[in-house]
Chains A and B, each alone.
Chain A
Amino acid sequence: MSKKILIVDDEPNIVISLEFLMKKEGFEIAVAGDGEEALAKVASFNPDLVLLDVMMPKKSGFEVCEALRADPERAGLLIIMLTAKGRDTEVAKGLAIGADAYVTKPFSTKELVVQVKSMLGVA
């Protein structure tokens, strides 16, 4: 059974590229366009990993991450934060609230795939 990844971003084109990229690697994919939708999708789709954009309408990626980490049932859920804001403080904040990794946009597709696979143990 393939691993499940939830892609969360408010930029449709980024969602398109990520979805295509991860599907090609054989993952099962769901997408969400904002923070609230993301939480709903986590509940219904039950992903193994979330690719989470930070700057989004309604609920920011930080808020989503905090909400997920506050749920003990989702203890094993992996979270990779994606952000176009590359400042050190943001990276530190993301890691502090429980993200497993932090990737700045624009990212290398190859490296992202490698990282996702290694985190999911499907090398």
Chain B
Amino acid sequence: MLSGASIAFLATAYLALLFAVARFGDARADAGRSIISANVYALSVAVYCTSWTFYGSVGRAASGGLSFLTIYIGPTLMLLFVGVFIKMIRIAKAQRITSIADFIASRYGKSQLLAGMVTVIAVIGVVPYIALQLKAVAASVDVLMAHSGNSAQIAGLDSTFLIAVVLALFSILFGTRHLDATERHEGMVAAVAFESVVKLIAFIAVGAFVTYGMFGGLTDLFQRADEAGFGRLFALDSGKAGTWTSLVLLSGLAIIFLPRQFQIIVVENVDESHLKRAVWLFPLYLLLINVFVLPLALGGLLSSGGTGINPDTFVLTLELSRGAEALAILAFIGGLSAATGMVIVETIALSTMVCNDLVMPILLRSTANFVEKRNDLSGLLIGIRRAAIALILMLGYAYFRVAGEAYALVGIGLISFAAVAQFAPAMFGGMYWKQGTRAGAVAGLSAGFLVWLYTLLLPSFARSGWIGNGFVEHGLFGIGWLKAQALFGLGGMDEISHCVWWSMLANIGAYVGVSLWSSRDAVEASQAERFVDVFRFAGGTTEARLWRGTASLDAVVELLERFLGVPRARQQLAIYAAARDVDDWRALKVDAAFVQFAEAELAGAIGSASARVMVASVTQEEDLGLDEVLGILDEATQVRAYSRELEAKQRELQEATAELREANERLRELDRMKDDFISTVTHELRTPLTSIRALSEMLHEDPKLELADRKRFLGIIVGEAERLTRLINQILDMAKLESGRAEWTTGEVDLGELARETMDSVGQLFREKGVALASEIRDDGLVVLADRDRLTQVLINLLSNAVKFVPGQSGRVMVRVGREGGAVRVEVADNGPGLTAEECSVIFEKFRQGGNTMTSKPQGTGLGLPISRQIIEYFGGKLWVESHPGEGANFIFTVPLPVPDE
């Protein structure tokens, strides 16, 4: 059933479908209705899963067990650093970055040298990887053909070549529609996302078929594998921890530094927020596509029973062995998807790099005349890019032909990862470390690349038998510590870990070391600022001040027209003019901003390094010295710092204002209380004064006043004067106590003795009113440390209050002195009217008197109890009252006993 023709037909039909999807995506993009959603973006990131994943994972699992997982754990972990990706995307957009080579070159002063180096490393590292994809497709075709007994030749051409040609066409059609490489290839992204879905469905279908169709589910499969002795494959081997670590690291870096990944994640990103979806959707995708890897490997090993079937083809052979040809076709399409997706994006990314960073600089330099003569270079540029795509694919095909089954092809996936990992120090350093210099980046990249070449790529050639393996076995020139895979005697590691260790050490060491020892030029310094501080870069005025010179509008416009083509150049000029409220772009002022706009437009087409050279060639730039540039940047930084400081100050000020307001509120409250106090005091003072004045005036005016009245009035005047004196004394006393300026004479006081003496001194008062005064006083242990006079004052106050409030004749007052806990307790209990609960607390406030006396108005100043309480509290005791209306009142105070000396 599976004839060569039908396979060719299916493959062609699938690719045609892909064309349709891409065409649809482009059409929608042209119509301004992008189909690139967060989901499409996240799926397109799965271009990471190549045919190496599709077929190779099962192969790796069949020999290395769970270690295949590292290739997926790395990216998952890497995606946790969303901030790094966001920053990269932000920089790329701000700088109109076209590729990873452009990114690194732009950061280090728009260096053509760096751009070229990165491009060369990428091409050398990645072309074999493309070959691997072609090989995978070829192998899958072979399996299908072998099954149906046909040959894999169509019209004398081998299918792999045809596939390479079709892929080149596809890439050319959808990858080079626009000249501006920063313009997104939405059709291509849509096609890639579509392919991600296809390969996932295909792989899961095969996995489910094998697990549940050929075996009795996962449990059965694992049980049988265990019995057959494959248990080691799904056990974690702690001895491989080092290998795991380096594989996780490599794949984590690959997810962003492989040219196709950078293209998809950074260059093709439409919206930063899409990344947030990719952060979980892509790992989920990886999880799904890996669920059946181990079951497939085990199923393959169990069914083949050691017949020597290549485990890399289990994905196809398993279902074919059961005659499930339709499923095999689906699997084939899935593998084809994985391969084509990778090849298309990779070649587009690489072609941009080759065109902008290798060919353009050479063209611009060596054949200046040639470039001068051509009026419109945009066609040439597109031509170069298309040629580069074709060339890269043919290189891949050639490598595939030459390498064949050689080891150099099989292991190339990880070798590629290790190659692009060399970009990491220059990239991350460039994004976060302003001191990183061009010289440092060149040194780091060279060192890392050379070590990679020597410890990984060349040994793989040697193992394929293309070159002698002396340098691996015995070391270069027979020097033992130069053994390619045991440098400086570092043996016992797998080759990947060995390479990662030494290349990263050399790379980072050289990058940091040389950066610290070298100085930057002006362009580098300003680019470093723009990259590292992309989120804070002032732009605008700072941007404009970083360029000074003169240029003619015509020259700049001509340059744009030549590289972008007249229509596009005019269109961009019109947009720029409109943004500045200039009607006609011909009236534009040629200032720093305009030159920068032109350079950015050019950078989008030919890369930042070439753009810089071209703009410099048509303008008369004044050389800004490094000092001046640093000065401008410093100022910008300072302005930022000032504004941050200002913000902080403002916050402080607001806080201070709030505090002030609160303090003011408190002061106002205190003021009000003081006002009330003074008002009350005034009232208390004016009241006796009123009687004194009125009666005195009457006595004074009327000398003929009757003697009885005269005597009565004078008596009142004397009494009120005494009241006034008492009041003033108590107010002063209170003020002293409250301000802490009262004088205290502290000594031993026997409270029992003090109570007796005080009762004697006030006895007359009680007798006059016919009130009974009794006491219960303990004989000893009542000595406290206190001021005798002050305690006497308290007790007199309590006793005179009591006598005031009890009824004459039937009144009784009882004094009790005893000990309670660590204190002496003194009680003055009466049988007066008692106090309400509210009064019990109110009476200790200033000028608040209990109302319910025997007379209509209570005598006294209303300060006695507050003063007493102050005194008792000064000695660490308490003064309170226990009472209920109608049951008398019991005033109690305690004074703590002195703490005995130890």
The interface of chain A, by Cβ under 8 A from chain B, is 10-14, 16-18, 20-21, 24, 33-34, 55, 57, 84-87, 104-110
In Å, the complex CA distance between A82 and B691 comes to 13
Contact B682 A13 (CB under 8 A): no
Contact A105 B716 (CB under 8 A): no
Set of chain A residues within 8 Å of B851, measured between Cβ atoms: 57
Sample of 14 A–B contacts (CB below 8 Å) = A10-B857, A13-B719, A17-B698, A20-B709, A21-B694, A24-B698, A84-B682, A85-B682, A105-B686, A105-B690, A106-B686, A106-B689, A106-B693, A106-B694
Set of chain B residues within 8 Å of A110, measured between Cβ atoms: 697, 701
Set of chain B residues within 8 Å of A11, measured between Cβ atoms: 687, 690-691, 857
Partner of A85, one of B679, B688, B701: B679
Contact B716 A106 (CB under 8 A): no
Contact A20 B682 (CB under 8 A): no
Contact B720 A13 (CB under 8 A): yes
Residue of A nearest to B691 (CB): A13
Does B778 have its Cβ within 8 Å of any Cβ on chain A?
no
In Å, the complex CA distance between A87 and B236 comes to 91
Query: With A84-B682, A85-B682, A105-B689 in contact, do A13 and B856 touch (Cβ < 8 Å)?
Result: no
Residue of A nearest to B688 (CB): A13
Taking the nearest CB of chain A, how far is it from the CB of B676, in angstroms?
A: 11
Residue of A nearest to B693 (CB): A106
In Å, the complex CA distance between A105 and B694 comes to 10
Does B640 have its Cβ within 8 Å of any Cβ on chain A?
no
Residue of B nearest to A55 (CB): B683
Taking the nearest CB of chain A, how far is it from the CB of B697, in angstroms?
A: 4
Partner of A108, one of B697, B716, B856: B697
Residue of B nearest to A109 (CB): B697
Set of chain B residues within 8 Å of A13, measured between Cβ atoms: 688, 691, 695, 716, 719-720
Taking the nearest CB of chain B, how far is it from the CB of A60, in angstroms?
A: 13
Contact A85 B683 (CB under 8 A): yes
In Å, the complex CA distance between A17 and B697 comes to 10
6 cross-chain pairs, A with B, having the tightest CB-CB distances, nearest first: A84-B686, A17-B694, A13-B691, A105-B690, A106-B690, A106-B693
Taking the nearest CB of chain A, how far is it from the CB of B55, in angstroms?
A: 96
Most chain B C-beta atoms within 10 Å of own C-beta, residue among A33, A87, A106: A106
Residue of A nearest to B715 (CB): A13
Contact B856 A84 (CB under 8 A): no
Taking the nearest CB of chain B, how far is it from the CB of A118, in angstroms?
A: 19
| 18 extra A-B contacts, CB within 8 A, seeds A13-B719, A85-B683, A106-B689 | A11-B857, A12-B857, A13-B688, A13-B691, A14-B690, A14-B691, A17-B694, A18-B694, A24-B702, A33-B857, A84-B684, A84-B686, A84-B687, A105-B687, A106-B690, A106-B692, A107-B690, A107-B693
Query: With A21-B694, A106-B694 in contact, do A14 and B687 touch (Cβ < 8 Å)?
Result: yes
Contact A17 B683 (CB under 8 A): no
Residue of B nearest to A54 (CB): B683
**Chain B 842-867: CB-based contact to A (< 8 A → 1; otherwise 0):** 00000000010000110000000000
In Å, the complex CA distance between A21 and B857 comes to 23
In Å, the complex CA distance between A24 and B697 comes to 13
In Å, the complex CA distance between A98 and B719 comes to 35
Taking the nearest CB of chain B, how far is it from the CB of A74, in angstroms?
A: 25
Partner of A16, one of B688, B716, B856: B716
Contact A84 B694 (CB under 8 A): no
In Å, the complex CA distance between A16 and B712 comes to 10
Contact A84 B683 (CB under 8 A): yes
Residue of B nearest to A56 (CB): B857
In Å, the complex CA distance between A11 and B698 comes to 18
In Å, the complex CA distance between A123 and B440 comes to 113
In Å, the complex CA distance between A85 and B693 comes to 17
Contact B856 A14 (CB under 8 A): no
Taking the nearest CB of chain A, how far is it from the CB of B363, in angstroms?
A: 94
Residue of B nearest to A33 (CB): B856
Set of chain B residues within 8 Å of A109, measured between Cβ atoms: 693-694, 697-698, 701
In Å, the complex CA distance between A108 and B684 comes to 18
Set of chain A residues within 8 Å of B684, measured between Cβ atoms: 84
Residue of B nearest to A13 (CB): B691
Taking the nearest CB of chain B, how far is it from the CB of A99, in angstroms?
A: 18
Set of chain A residues within 8 Å of B720, measured between Cβ atoms: 13
Set of chain A residues within 8 Å of B702, measured between Cβ atoms: 24
In Å, the complex CA distance between A48 and B702 comes to 27
Contact B686 A57 (CB under 8 A): no
Residue of B nearest to A58 (CB): B851
In Å, the complex CA distance between A100 and B108 comes to 94
In Å, the complex CA distance between A17 and B701 comes to 13
Set of chain A residues within 8 Å of B679, measured between Cβ atoms: 85, 87
**Chain B 697-708: CB-based contact to A (< 8 A → 1; otherwise 0):** 110011000000
In Å, the complex CA distance between A21 and B851 comes to 29
In Å, the complex CA distance between A33 and B853 comes to 14
Set of chain A residues within 8 Å of B688, measured between Cβ atoms: 13
Contact A21 B698 (CB under 8 A): yes
Most chain A C-beta atoms within 10 Å of own C-beta, residue among B689, B720, B856: B856
Set of chain B residues within 8 Å of A57, measured between Cβ atoms: 851, 856-857
Most chain B C-beta atoms within 10 Å of own C-beta, residue among A16, A33, A84, A109: A84
Taking the nearest CB of chain A, how far is it from the CB of B804, in angstroms?
A: 16
**Chain B 651-693: CB-based contact to A (< 8 A → 1; otherwise 0):** 0000000000000000000000000000100111011111111
Taking the nearest CB of chain B, how far is it from the CB of A121, in angstroms?
A: 24
Taking the nearest CB of chain A, how far is it from the CB of B685, in angstroms?
A: 8
In Å, the complex CA distance between A40 and B689 comes to 29
Query: With A57-B851, A85-B679, A87-B679 in contact, do A17 and B686 touch (Cβ < 8 Å)?
Result: no
Partner of A84, one of B690, B697, B701, B719: B690
Query: With A11-B687, A16-B716, A57-B856 in contact, do A86 and B682 touch (Cβ < 8 Å)?
Result: yes
Residue of A nearest to B720 (CB): A13
Taking the nearest CB of chain A, how far is it from the CB of B297, in angstroms?
A: 95
Set of chain A residues within 8 Å of B697, measured between Cβ atoms: 108-110
In Å, the complex CA distance between A117 and B115 comes to 112
Query: With A33-B856, A85-B682, A87-B679 in contact, do A17 and B687 touch (Cβ < 8 Å)?
Result: no
